[in-house]
Amino acid sequence: MAIDHAVFVVFGASGDLAKKKTFPALFGLYRQDELPKTTKIFGYARSKLTNEEFHDKFRSNLKLLNDSQQPKIDQFLGITEYFNGSYDDPEAYKRLELAIQQFEKSQSIATPNRIYYLALPPSVFATVAANLKKYNHNGKVKLIVEKPFGHDLPSAKELQAQLAPLFSEDELFRIDHYLGKELVKNLLVLRFGNEIFNASWNKNHIQSIQISFKEPFGTEGRGGYFDSIGIIRDVIQNHLLQVLTLLTMERPTNFKPESIRDEKVKVLKAFAPIDQNDILVGQYVASRDGSKPGYLDDSTVNPDSKCITYAAIGLKIENERWDGVPIVVRAGKALNESKVEVRIQFKQVAKGVFNSIQKNELVLRIQPKPAVYLKLNSKIPGLSNKFSITDLDLTYGSRYNDFWIPEAYESLIRDALHDEHSNFVRDDELELSWGLFTPLLNYLEGPNAPTPLGYHYGDRGVPGLEQFLAKHGYEIQDRDAYQWPVTRPDILEKI
């Protein structure tokens, strides 16, 4: 059923997240006519700003696909209004409710449809939610909350206990923006819609799985904030684990949100406890040429900090499909490049005629430049009997260059608008994910915490990474055997 009206209220509207992600995403949907025809957007924050000052905060982040869309910016700003108030002031919520009601009355809206977006730290979630529940008088309500959903298992349970009496699970949307990325949303179709993958997606054919996240920058003056979080909370416990559950879950009975989330929960229950000895952790130091500072060089960081800026963690799933398949999730800051990808390496074919042949590998590059490519062995064309690794390549930028592919936040806000919960984290899923990682976090932050290995800003990873991956079944392919584009005939004699 078409949605013909909506009111959005973005709390934390003057902050960085709202400026860089939330309002640009709302504009992207507006630009593509994906918002209801009657829409009003309120930005709510403590800062005292005029409407013009508020618009100037995010105007430069609004993206146009072509010059003909230029009028859309002024039209979008025309439906966007700033509202000043503290997060614990009942009078401010009363004034907000009155402003919303006046808009709805002016548009003859009989049944309100309101989406409250909390671009705020979790410490104020309960305060804002309680006031919204008290002063929101009627209509359909949805509450979108940003990560982090707690700091560990006890705090996540406490946060849930505060929100559950106020908003039902159907009204709550816990947003993890990785679930809105196009290639992540494509995982279920790639897996279950292609028999070539579906039939081989198990321990009989797959040698190893690894998911890697690399950032080419450090904390850049935000070390004081990062010091209390670390790379595991920041990336692994949420983003990478969400990708892994989609990779390893069983086929849902249908594509309804609860069917998909049921299967994610089932596979999470099959994860073995994390072995504290099966990890590789690091903290970056200054770059080799001295041009980039180390983590401890940040004046906002405790000089004795053991905060983890790089982690590689071995995981095991103890069920019929995955028992014995080694899995590695790894993430780090201040590395040599920006990249997030999945690598699924298949087992070696039978020996004999193919003694030196390479293993097949499926690579899912989530960012940048989303792509899916499968490394295959192929005979080099012509008279040669030599073979080499080549690709079956689906690069989104080449194959879908005329498509509008929504940004992650655009996709997820639209999902929330349409009551599509598939790509949001359910309460039991959240509890299981924290239950998996909290013992490891307690160890890494406890009195017997290991000293993280030093790696230089700009390195590929921490010392010992290749050996760690090899221990977990991943074989780095012979780079000389990988030739793309295909070898030219005039140099075949040299092979």
Write out pLDDT tens, residues 424-446: 999 999 999 999 999 999 999 99
- Fold adopted by 180-481: Dihydrodipicolinate Reductase; domain 2 (3.30.360)
Please enumerate in sequence order all residues whose Cβ is within 8 A of that of 299, keeping only pairs 6 or more positions apart, or say none.
Answer: none
- The Cα–Cα gap between 348 and 486 comes to 23
Q: Among 55, 239, 456, 472, which one carries the catalytic annotation?
A: 239
Supply the pLDDT for residue 46: 94
- Token pair of 447, please? 């009195």
CATH topology of domain 5-146: Rossmann fold (3.40.50)
Whole-angstrom distance, CA of residue 157 vs CA of residue 428: 10
Closest among 183, 109, 113, 106 to 400, alpha carbons compared: 183
Distance CA 101, CA 98 (A): 5
Please report the pLDDT score of residue 235 as a whole number: 95
Q: According to the model, what pLDDT value does residue 399 have?
A: 87
Three-state secondary structure call for residue 476: coil
Rounded CA-CA distance 163/129 in Å is: 7
For 146, the token pair is 């940003």
Alpha helices in 201-343 (DSSP H): 223-226, 230-231, 241-248, 257-269
pLDDT at 478: 56
Helix (H) or strand (E) holding 425: none
pLDDT at position 352, please?
A: 66
Do you find a cis peptide bond into 122, omega within 30 degrees of 0? no
Angle between helices 23-31 and 408-417 (to 10 degrees): 70
Cis bond upstream, residue 154 (ω within 30): no
pLDDT at 493: 40
What is the reported pLDDT for 69? 85
Q: Which residues of the chain are modeled with pLDDT < 70?
A: 1, 352-353, 355, 477-495
Q: Report residue 352 as tokens.
A: 């004999």
Sequence ranges of the domains in the chain = 5-146, 180-481
Rounded (5°) CA angle 9-234-430: 70
Q: Which H or E run contains 11?
A: strand 5-11
Q: Are strands 279-285 and 310-315 parallel, antiparallel or unpaired?
A: antiparallel
Residue 177 among the catalytic residues: no
pTM score of the predicted model: 0.91
